[in-house]
Amino acid sequence: MSKILVTGGCGYIGSHTIVDLVDHGFEVISADNLSRGFGEMNDKVSKLLGKSIHNYAVDLSDAAATRTIFEANPDIEGIIHFAAYKSVPESVDAPLMYYKNNIGSLINILECAKEFGVKNVVFSSSCSVYGNADTLPVTETAPLKEAESPYAATKQMGEQICADFVKGNPGFKIVLLRYFNPVGAHESTLIGEMNQRPENLVPIVTQTAIGIRSGMTVFGDDYDTRDGSCVRDYIHVMDIAHAHTLALQKSIENALPSGCEVFNLGTGEGVTVLELIKAFESVSGLKLNYNIGPRRAGDVIKVYADNTKAKTLLGWQPGYDITTMMQTAWNWQQALAKETAQ
């Protein structure tokens, strides 16, 4: 059974990916210093899987500490590297913290991969590398625009570091996965997106619906789109998770065309903010309390994926539509509320 190190394993996408990896026969260990991840997420994943997943609470920007994980686990066959800060506004306020953490931990992980001969790596990237793409749907060959934030810059730099690492280390393979907008939660409602003060849309919608927030603002309805609000490609977190499992399997089988392949992970469908809210209202049976406010600085107007490459080369097929995404997000928020009430 191949052992996989998942960094950021106590985070939103990391925890869901651990579930999918174990469901597909991998042995998994996690590394997460819990600066952004939640320890209870690890407990919940272990409960969901009926087996404990060991988490190394290690700061991966500390090279020596990172090394201890590999010394203790010489049989690691692959790495999925999620661990990174990901708040766009926070990165604008604290760019050095973002470069030190996101780039520093990637470099430490790759140095250990090289030293310990771990030849299969998956890097968590983002559609934010595209910025405002000129043509839609956006393909992996689209030119990368100037990063809109230090966060997006760390993803662009991270991809370049991975590509250069592979060029200088034949035999090593790194798959770059560019997520569009991950939403929703595992159907068990045992795991989901944990964020007390979210900045992204869906948890703000569900926190408004459950009453944690009194209302929310739609940032602009005067864009050149179907209904004036921004368009995004929302993709269920379990679809994203399974893409990582497939990417690792293909990498281990040496079944990909080159040592560094990049894939878009999106449904290929653009959905506006107002359409998402309507889908949520139909699923929850609630009228959401929102107002239309000014545009948010830095917002991309429209972005959605061409996912042909992931479908053909990874055999990936996203299975959740926007209604189900909203249903699982709402179920998760209600489960959280019940837990807090206990």
Catalytic residue set:
151
Q: How far apart are CA 133 and CA 300, in angstroms?
A: 9
Alpha carbon distance 243, 136 (integer Å): 22
Nearest approach in angstroms of CB 279 to ligand WQD is 13
The strand pairing partners of 263, in sequence order, are 177
Residue 2 CB, shortest distance to ligand WQD, in Å, is 27
Total residues binding ligand WQD (CB under 6 A): 19
Q: Which of residues 43-82 bind ligand WQD (CB under 6 A)?
A: none
- Contacting residue, 52, 217, 317, 323, with ligand WQD by CB under 6 A: 217
Query: In Å, how far from its chain's centre is CA 55?
Result: 19
Q: Which of 42, 101, 128, 207 binds ligand WQD (CB under 6 A)?
A: 128
When asked if residue 181 is in the footprint of ligand WQD (CB under 6 A), the reply is yes
Residue 16 in contact with ligand WQD, rule: CB under 6 A? no
Compute CA 137 distance to the chain's CA centroid, rounded to the nearest angstrom. Answer: 20
Range in contact with ligand WQD (rule: CB under 6 A) among 132-140, 199-207, 321-329, 333-341: 199-207
Q: Which is nearer to ligand WQD, 259 or 270 (CB)?
A: 270
- Near ligand WQD in 88-107, by CB under 6 A: 88
CA atoms within 13 A on the CB side of 141: 2
**What is the Cα–Cα distance from 329 to 280, expressed in whole angstroms?**
9
299: its two tokens? 């917002």
Q: Which residues contact 229 (CB under 8 A, 6 or more apart)?
A: 218, 220, 221, 223, 272, 273, 274, 275
Stretch that binds ligand WQD, among 110-118, 136-144, 167-175, 211-219 (CB under 6 A): 211-219
**Residue 217 bridge partners (DSSP):** 291
Binding residues for ligand WQD, rule: CB under 6 A, are: 86, 88, 126, 128, 179, 181, 199-201, 204, 216-219, 230, 232, 273, 296, 299
